Chains A and B, each alone.
Chain A
């Protein structure tokens, strides 16, 4: 059959192209533009080539921030995924209490990031915060502005509080989709509780769990607002995660060139990891079908 040639179709996607150009491509190109130039003020720019990239790759500062970032994401994933699954397994499956749990668990998800940060910032204060005051009264030394461990503990608990519900809701949806016959068959086969989880529930939840892991990884890898509000990256640089460091560099020190190079590498890392996740997920799904 002869293929119809109709170039008019291009006009139909023009609006979307323009929109994407203004919202994503042009800003990104601006960053690329900064990343290869240097300036000494007066709006005069000089070609710097890949100098900034080389400098960033050699700087301990970025590697430290990346290390902290990876550690943060790893910790919250190891807590949130099992905890979310555990919560989902123990939720009432139907009736009033099921709906009640769903609503209560959705609440943290609806709170804006900076509000979450503020809540925990106040909650943890030793002078007026319920948590900080209680811990202090119990004789436990807790001060997230000075103690690295306390600062990390605070931002991790905060993130767990904020986002475990998401994992739980996704896992719950996965559990609900398992037909009753599976549980009945397991009873007939005298499967233990662990075997039911291992051979029925976990395989059926795998798809949604992959999505949960991807979402939580991406989100935690780009986290900015909450730890910034609570610790501001401190004490010292102890909780300076990638995006906090980036903002410090770009807006605090106004080092546009290095910050732009940093951004681009940050972006590429996220892109790479997303790609890996996507590949893994589609393979898993193919095996399931």
Chain B
């Protein structure tokens, strides 16, 4: 059986749905970060698949920039999380309403 572009797109969609479920049900902010990583990775798969099946390198380039953005997001996000944890001693999402204007 030949593996086509649609196989990869369906796989990417399944992983994206898993990540979305994670974003919606997690309360711990560290776990929320894990779920966003899953979202970014699922999109990378479809970028690479489209790049392969259309013989175009643009998809791979976009995947590289997505990886770069994910790396910097983790660095800044974890720094903020550590500061928050030092101050309030927990990283639950429900306690983060004090930024309300």
**Do A and B form a real pair?**
no
